[in-house]
Amino acid sequence: MTATYYVQNVLSQVKSAINEQRLKVSTSRTLLLHDNAGPHKARATTQSLHELGIQVLSHPAYSPDLAPCDFWLLTILKDRLAEGKFDRIQDLTKVVNSEPWTIPEEDYQGLFRKWQIRLKHCIESPGEYFEEL
């Protein structure tokens, strides 16, 4: 994924979802957690997020244990993708783009509870290695 693709395709969906949530909970402050991937740190991305009024939470370097995609979402996607065979890249792309929408809201809420536990554990064990939570 490139920064251009991320800005044009992903952030537009993020903006729509944020606007929808703002109507429900009447908040103007939005925080977004990004990992340190190139497209997330690119100038085009940071500029677009600034224009959208979205504040990005800093993510510690070399901390995949704190990236929900690394410890949760990718595992789910890999399991679901293993169930099928894709003859065309378009078919794979369609499944990868649609699968996150099929995950129940309760599972996402559980993810954020697990994420908070991971964050707390990292803070309490500064720099020390720890086993999977």
Per-residue confidence (pLDDT) for residue 53, from 0 to 100? 83
pTM of the model: 0.55
Whether the Cβ atoms of residue 130 and residue 121 lie closer than 8 Å to each other:
yes
Whether the Cβ atoms of residue 76 and residue 96 lie closer than 8 Å to each other:
no
Whether the Cβ atoms of residue 111 and residue 72 lie closer than 8 Å to each other:
yes
pLDDT (tens digit, 0 to 9) for every residue of the chain, 133 residues total? 899 999 998 888 888 888 887 777 766 677 887 877 888 889 999 999 988 888 888 766 666 667 777 677 888 888 888 878 888 999 888 888 888 888 898 988 888 888 888 878 877 876 666 666 5
Copy the structure tokens of residue 44: 């085009």
> What DSSP assignment string belongs to 57-88?
EP--TT-GGG-HIIIIIHHHHHHHHTT---SS
* Interaxial angle between packed helices 43-52 and 11-25, expressed in degrees from 0 to 180 and rounded to the nearest 10: 20
